[in-house]
Amino acid sequence: MLFAIIIILGIALCVALLQIAQYRRAARGLSQAIITKQPFLREDIPGASGPHWDALVSETNDLISENIRLRQLRTSQLAQLDATLGSLQEAVLLVDRDNRILLANQALQALFPRAAANTNLLHHRLETIIHGAAFFEYVEAVRRGTARPQHEIEFPSTPSPAAATSRAGRHLWLEVTGTTIPALTGDDEAWALFVLHDITKQKKLEAVRKEFVANVSHELRTPLSIIKGYAETLVDGHVDMPEADRDRFLRTIERHAERLNSLIEDLLTLSRLESANAGLRREPVAFTKLLATILDDYRARPAAAGRRLGHDFDPAIGELQLDPLKITQALENLLDNALKYTPPTALVQVSARRAGAGMIEVAVRDNGPGIPAADLPHIFERFYRVDKGRSRDKGGTGLGLSIVKHIVQLHGGQVRAESTEGQGSVFYFTLPEK
């Protein structure tokens, strides 16, 4: 009898252990279904059954289905946002409370090309993509509700590898607007939405404008101060002033008035060249004949006295479509510089040749003092002078080479200069052959 009871208990224990093993396998399967977000099928564990188990499986499957529905809804809503905002020219960024990127349109990826090239932006932490403490302070201010509606932020340079050389040292200025929106997941958390507008060009233009105004003010003040001082002296003491002093004062006033007039004329010329309607009047011109005419005119000028003006023109160069008055002005500025800063026995050589790629290259060479290597990259900038005091003494306005650059660029060409200090300089400009 005892033996039968032991056998029955053993069988019952085995059945219980078997059922426990089945339920453990079912529990693991249910856990895996939750992790993978796939509905759990009872048929996968045939031995696991019962009202409580069936209710648990049913509730879990309902939760998994609801989670899938919410994820699909969220994905759909994000896709709709991406479709709506993706084509905007403004950069748009959406992040969750942990600063994980939920949406980044093409415009934003264009602003940070190196980050976009290295990784898919979505679901990455914002800190790994965008660098700049000021921006993250603004992000936190948006979440607190204390941010200004629009905020200008400077970002460190982040060029793409292909553009790293050409944009080295470039900083990015963005006007950022941010706000919080309810999470599309329905959670209590709020997402942060940012619109970033690139104002780098405006900042650069603003800096150029400020520098230009400062330079103009300085350049105008110098001759005006001299004219004013000498004129006041003449007014107060012209009766008792010796005639030689009066003559010297008047000639000084005249010289600085001419310099002031030259400066204003150059400023007006530069303003017209930089305007939307520069007034370029192209016509077919026998180019080498035009160059020869300009050189013949300069040989008769007092400034060329004692200097040799030579030329070397490729006879195969024919007619070019250009504005002869503006090209004459450009070449005259280069010749004026060459004659102004070279000794009386100097040689100034003008050459023209085919440079390939459908371009004609003109070079103006001199054997003057040359230009220091540090100054060479800046000589086509407005008001830039290698020797400021000597340039003013010779009547230079600092705008001549800038005018040359603008005229040549209007014709579709480029300017450059080569020089070795003490061995002369060469100024080049190119023009399209057709």
pLDDT band of residue 163 (cuts 50, 70, 90) is very low
Report the topology of domain 86-161+168-198.
Beta-Lactamase (3.30.450)
- Compute and round to an integer the Cα radius of gyration of the chain: 39
- Average predicted confidence (pLDDT) for the chain: 78
User: What CA–CA distance (Å, rounded) separates 405 from 185?
Assistant: 58
Tell me what the mean pLDDT of segment 173-189 comes to.
81
In this prediction, residue 21 carries a pLDDT of 62
Which segment of 34-48, 273-287, 316-330, 357-371 scores lowest on mean pLDDT?
34-48
Residue 26, pLDDT > 80, answer no
Does residue 349 contact residue 310 with C-beta atoms inside 8 Å? yes
Supply φ then ψ for residue 309, to 5 degrees.
-110, 110
Which whole number is the average pLDDT over 356-368? 89
| DSSP character string of 67-103 | HHHHHHHHHHHHHHHHHHHTT-SSEEEEE-TT-BEEE
Structure tokens at 226: 């001299």
Q: Tell me what pLDDT residue 170 has.
A: 57
Least confident of 61-70, 126-135, 183-192, 323-332: 61-70
Cα dist from 242 to 228, 229, 255, whole Å: 20, 18, 20
Q: How far apart are CA 162 and CA 417, in angstroms?
A: 27
CATH 3.40.50.150 fits 201-277, yes or no: no
Give the position of tokens 């100034």: 348
Residues 157-179 have a mean pLDDT of 62
Is 312 or 266 the better-scoring residue by pLDDT? 312
Whole-model pTM: value is 0.56
Residue 347 in 3-state DSSP?
A: strand
Tell me, what's the pLDDT at 7?
A: 72
* Domain limits, the chain: 28-80, 86-161+168-198, 201-277, 281-434
The two domains 86-161+168-198 and 281-434 share their CATH topology (first three levels equal): no
pLDDT for residue 76? 62
**Cα within 13 Å of Cα(100), Cβ side:** 8
The type of residue at 45 is I
Most trustworthy range by pLDDT among 34-38, 232-236, 295-299: 295-299
* 172-182: strand order across its sheet: 101-104, 91-95, 190-198, 172-182, 151-155
The residues, ordered by sequence, that sit 6+ positions from 335 with a Cβ below 8 Å of its Cβ are: 294, 295, 298, 309, 348, 350, 364
Most confident range (mean pLDDT) of 58-72, 179-193, 320-334 is: 320-334
Of 23-27, 30-34, 277-281, which has the strongest mean pLDDT?
277-281
Q: Higher model confidence: residue 377 or residue 26? A: 377
Given pLDDT bands bounded at 50, 70 and 90, which one contains residue 68? low
Return the pLDDT at 414: 93
pLDDT value, residue 125:
84
The pLDDT of residue 167 is 40
> What per-residue confidence (pLDDT) applies to 359?
92
CA distances from 71 to 74, 77, 97 (A): 5, 10, 17
Higher pLDDT, 290 or 255: 290
Q: What is the pLDDT of residues 385-399, one digit of tens each?
A: 776 544 445 556 678
426 pLDDT higher than 90? yes
Can you list the positions of beta strands (E) in 315-358? 319-322, 347-356
Q: Which CATH architecture has domain 281-434?
A: 2-Layer Sandwich (3.30)
